[in-house]
Amino acid sequence: NAGVTQTPKFQVLKTGQSMTLQCAQDMNHEYMSWYRQDPGMGLRLIHYSVGAGITDQGEVPNGYNVSRSTTEDFPLRLLSAAPSQTSVYFCASSYGRLAGYEQYFGPGTRLTVT
C-alpha cells in the first residue's frame, strides 16, 4: 500500500493564480481531511469529507474548494492564491469510530505564494 500520497511536494504560485493540490489514499478510508500547518498554530482543518460525494467546511475554509467524487481522491483547489495561503498542506485519511478514527497523513505540500 502507498498509504496517503500528495502531489506536488513543492509549489510556488503568484498572487491570483489557481491550482489544485492532489491527495489520494489506497486504504479504502471513509474520512479524508485537508489541514494547513503554520508555525505555532498546529494543524488547522480546511475541509473534510465523510464519504464520496459528501464534504464540509472546517475551521479555515475561505479561499479553498474541495470535491470527493471517489473514495480514493480528495483534491484541494485554491481559487485565487494569496500570500496568506503560504503554508504546508497535509492530507489525511481514516476509518471511522470502530477503528478509533486513527488518521494517516500524507508527506505534505509546501506552498509559497508570492
Partner 1 sequence: AQSVTQLGSHVSVSEGALVLLRCNYSSSVPPYLFWYVQYPNQGLQLLLKYTTGATLVKGINGFEAEFKKSETSFHLTKPSAHMSDAAEYFCAVRNNYGQNFVFGPGTRLSVLP
* Contacting residues toward partner 1, per CB under 8 A: 4, 33, 35, 40-45, 48, 50, 56, 58-59, 90, 92, 97, 100-108
Kindly report the number of other CB atoms within 10 A of residue 13's CB atom. 19
SS (H, E, C) 24-92: EECCCCCEEEEEEECCCCCEEEEEEEEECCEEEECCCCCCEEECCCCCCECCEEECCCCHHHCEEEEEE
The minimum distance between CB 4 and partner 1, in angstroms, equals 8
Q: How far is the CB of 74 from partner 1 (least distance, A)?
A: 14
Which residue number, 15 or 38, has a Cβ lying nearer to partner 1?
Answer: 38
Closer of 85 and 93 to partner 1 (Cβ): 93
Q: How far is the CB of 80 from partner 1 (least distance, A)?
A: 26
SS3 12: strand
**Contact, 83 vs 14, CB < 8 A?**
no
Least Å distance between CB 100 and partner 1? 4
SS3 call for 98: helix
CB-nearer residue toward partner 1: 17 or 71: 71
Indicate the residue among 26 and 56 with the shorter CB distance to partner 1.
56
